[in-house]
């Protein structure tokens, strides 16, 4: 084989890896988009039951076809305080099982060296998916077409990789060189470094499987490279956790201890078995006997066996693993910041469908903060008791933080290529909803200022005025409850009720103005008190308008 042929086969290998990784990205992106609702429901069922957590982690990884994405998403959930460390650990364990499905698919595509009809059949899916996409009218149909194309491209990439590996296998010098690399640590480190560089353990495992299938390396060598890939995949989670909370760092550490610990345990046991049996038995020999003459199946099955066995061993010790991570990673220094996200996290951008549902929760949380501040403001102006003023100021800072930073997050989320049309339409309505809740906070701030003006002048409202303020406060709280019910459910059944409450607010606001004039004429209240009272009445009426606006935004996107 001359130098030109060698360069050609190297380029073919690089092209095959590139096509394979593009295919994996296509499958992952579109599987998530088409199954976003199922994924949301699946992850909402994370419970304290460890087996349930493992099952959900495995299924989520199968859906999005990436254990790295599952880890990053899990870190995001932990960072936002949505799930506990114990729950995160079980999701990560399950993700390591789910990612072995990719290896099984690769082994199937390389069956008998990748030259039988089943490979051609699967490769043809690339064209079939394109035709489906060309004539599709619905988003889901397009996603399915892209998934089918992705699977077709995956097998085309595998075929290219397999052809190049078979060509290299015909080079005695290369085979001899590779056969001499029998140092376990070198093979494991090589697998870990390459995986960390390409950010995909699935790709590294697939390359190892194609090399084993072409007899370019032995099954034993493939096993050690695959074990290294299990360690290298932790690099993605470590990067995601680097700038996050202590619990996020602990989640990444749990994955590293789990994966690296499993690798060390297997390597030690393999060495012991070889010593005891005088090299007549090993894990490689065991899988060769179980699946004779199919090296790709042998490595894929070993990968699945190893990850399942690791989970079964570590799962009963998961609580101790969590405690260990807490000891190794100190708590965040300083007091907890109030200006922060409670439900969304930067790492959730890797799974847009989940991020959208968390945005909705964040906006509902923002609504609660705004309503709390309204009630605190009314308490202050009616009682002249300022004991909750610092809570009010803290809430106001958080509203301002959410108004700015949540919008930035939504802008980035809306720009993701794999977001569904339904989610995109919802996100387009959130900007106005966020602005409405922030304005409610501003009007509440105005009310506190009116209270401070009264305090400086040593003035108070009359009993009649206080009664009217309490009445309109009740209407606002009723409207808030109905608005949140509509926002959470997406149903329009409560809209008429909301409109009726708003009409009551408008009527009462007008009545408050008329009653104020009468009290002013009778000398019951002063001009200063009256001015603050009219401003308060107007601001509360506008708060009601903003709550109705939120319902109108939802109505627009539902039609």
The answer to whether position 383 is within a domain reads yes
pLDDT for 119 equals: 64
Clarify whether residues 177 and 68 are in a common domain: yes
CB contact burial 128-147 (16+ within 10 A = b; e otherwise): ebeebbeeeeeeeebbbbbb
pLDDT for 556 equals: 53
Question: What is the arithmetic mean of pLDDT over 66-84?
Answer: 78
Clarify whether residues 21 and 63 are in a common domain: yes
pLDDT in tens, 262-284: 999 999 999 999 999 998 899 99
Clarify whether residues 148 and 223 are in a common domain: yes
Q: Which of 12-21, 33-42, 420-429, 442-451 bottoms out in mean pLDDT, i.e. has the lowest? A: 33-42
- Contacts (Cβ under 8 Å, ≥6 apart) of 414: 424, 427, 428
The answer to whether position 35 is within a domain reads yes
The answer to whether position 92 is within a domain reads yes
Q: Residue 174 is encoded by which pair of tokens? A: 């290369």
Question: What is the arithmetic mean of pLDDT over 517-538?
Answer: 83
pLDDT in tens, 1-24: 678 888 888 898 889 888 888 887
Clarify whether residues 164 and 268 are in a common domain: yes
Residue bearing tokens 């994370």: 46
How far separated are the first and last CA of the chain, in Å rounded? 66
| CATH number, domain containing residue 513 | 1.20.58.220
Clarify whether residues 319 and 377 are in a common domain: no
SS3 labels along 170-209: CCHHHHHHHHCCCCHHHHHHHHHHHHHHHCCHHHHHHHHH
Clarify whether residues 323 and 352 are in a common domain: no
Clarify whether residues 317 and 380 are in a common domain: no
Clarify whether residues 357 and 324 are in a common domain: no
Measured CA to CA in angstroms, residue 338 lies from 25, 371, 394 at distances of 37, 17, 7
Closest by CA to 158, choosing from 223, 110, 215, is 110
Q: Which of 298, 328, 358 is the last residue of a domain?
A: 328
The answer to whether position 48 is within a domain reads yes
pLDDT for 83 equals: 83
Clarify whether residues 386 and 459 are in a common domain: yes
The model's pTM is 0.73
Is the pLDDT assigned to residue 440 strictly greater than 90? yes
Question: What is the arithmetic mean of pLDDT over 149-171?
Answer: 84
The answer to whether position 338 is within a domain reads no
Clarify whether residues 431 and 290 are in a common domain: no
pLDDT for 352 equals: 83
pLDDT for 516 equals: 81
Clarify whether residues 270 and 417 are in a common domain: no
The answer to whether position 501 is within a domain reads yes
pLDDT in tens, 217-274: 999 999 999 999 999 989 877 887 776 778 888 999 999 999 999 999 999 999 999 9
The answer to whether position 181 is within a domain reads yes
| Cα 275 to Cα 272: distance, rounded to the nearest angstrom | 5
The DSSP line for 271-296 is HHHHHHHTTS--HHHHHHHHSTT-HH
pLDDT in tens, 287-332: 999 999 899 999 999 999 999 999 999 999 999 999 999 999 987 6
Q: Which of 296, 328, 360 is the last residue of a domain?
A: 328
Long-range contacts of 466-469 (CB under 8 A, 24+ apart): 466/382, 468/508, 468/511, 468/512, 468/515, 469/378, 469/381, 469/382, 469/536
Percentage of the residues of the chain whose pLDDT score is greater than 70: 94
Clarify whether residues 159 and 200 are in a common domain: yes
Domain that holds residue 237: 3-328
pLDDT in tens, 375-407: 999 999 999 899 999 999 999 999 999 999 999
Q: How many domains does the chain have?
A: 2
pLDDT in tens, 321-375: 999 999 999 876 654 455 678 888 887 887 787 888 889 989 999 999 999 999 9
The answer to whether position 337 is within a domain reads no
């Amino acid at each position: 084989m001359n130098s030109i042929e060698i360069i050609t086969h190297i380029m073919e290998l690089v092209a095959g890896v590139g096509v394979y990784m593009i295919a994996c990205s296509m499958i992952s992106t579109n599987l998530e988009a088409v199954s976003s609702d199922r994924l949301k429901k699946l992850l909402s069922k994370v419970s304290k039951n460890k087996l349930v957590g493992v099952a959900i982690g495995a299924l989520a990884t199968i859906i999005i076809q990436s254990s790295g994405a599952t880890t990053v998403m899990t870190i995001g959930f932990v960072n936002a305080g949505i799930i506990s460390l114990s729950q995160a650990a079980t999701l990560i364990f399950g993700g390591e099982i789910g990612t072995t499905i990719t290896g099984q698919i690769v082994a199937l595509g390389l069956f008998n060296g990748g030259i039988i009809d089943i490979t051609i059949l699967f490769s043809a899916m690339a064209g079939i998916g394109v035709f489906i996409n060309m004539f599709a009218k619905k988003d889901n149909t397009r996603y399915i077409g892209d998934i089918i194309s992705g699977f077709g491209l995956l097998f085309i990439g595998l075929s290219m990789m397999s052809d190049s590996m078979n060509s290299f296998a015909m080079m005695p010098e290369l085979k001899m060189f590779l056969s001499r690399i029998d140092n376990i640590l070198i093979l494991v480190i090589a697998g870990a470094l390459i995986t960390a560089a390409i950010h995909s353990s699935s790709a590294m495992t697939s390359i190892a499987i194609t090399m084993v299938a072409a007899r370019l390396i032995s099954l034993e060598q493939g096993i050690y490279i695959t074990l290294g890939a299990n360690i290298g995949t932790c690099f993605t989670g470590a990067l995601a956790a680097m700038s996050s909370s202590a619990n996020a760092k602990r989640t990444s550490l749990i994955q590293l201890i789990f994966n690296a610990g499993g690798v060390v345990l297997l390597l030690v046991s393999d060495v012991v078995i070889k010593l005891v049996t005088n090299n007549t038995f090993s894990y490689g020999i065991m899988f060769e006997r179980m699946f004779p003459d199919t090296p790709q199946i042998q490595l894929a099955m070993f990968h699945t066996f190893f990850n399942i066995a690791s989970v079964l061993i570590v799962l009963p010790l998961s609580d101790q693993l969590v405690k260990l991570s807490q000891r190794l990673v100190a708590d965040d220094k300083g007091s907890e910041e109030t200006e922060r996200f409670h439900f969304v996290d930067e790492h959730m951008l890797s799974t847009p469908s989940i991020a959208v549902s968390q945005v909705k929760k964040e906006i509902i949380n923002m609504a609660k903060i705004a309503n709390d501040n309204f009630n605190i403001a009314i308490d202050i102006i009616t009682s002249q008791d300022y004991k909750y003023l610092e809570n009010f100021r803290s809430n106001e800072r958080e509203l301002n933080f959410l108004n700015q930073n949540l919008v930035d997050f939504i802008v980035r989320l809306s720009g993701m290529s794999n977001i569904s049309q339904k989610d995109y339409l919802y996100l387009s309505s959130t900007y106005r909803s966020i602005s409405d809740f922030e304005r409610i906070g501003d009007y509440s701030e105005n009310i506190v200022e009116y209270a401070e003006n009264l305090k400086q002048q040593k003035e108070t409202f009359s009993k009649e005025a206080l009664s009217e303020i309490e009445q309109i406060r009740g209407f606002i709280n009723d409207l808030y409850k109905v608005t949140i019910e509509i926002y959470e459910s997406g149903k329009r059944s409560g809209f008429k009720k909301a409109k009726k409450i708003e009409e009551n607010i408008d009527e009462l606001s007008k009545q408050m103005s008329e009653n104020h004039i009468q009290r002013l004429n009778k000398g019951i209240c002063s001009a200063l008190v009256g001015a603050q009272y009219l401003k308060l009445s107007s601001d509360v009426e506008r708060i009601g308008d903003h709550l109705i606006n939120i319902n109108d935004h939802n109505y627009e996107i539902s039609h």
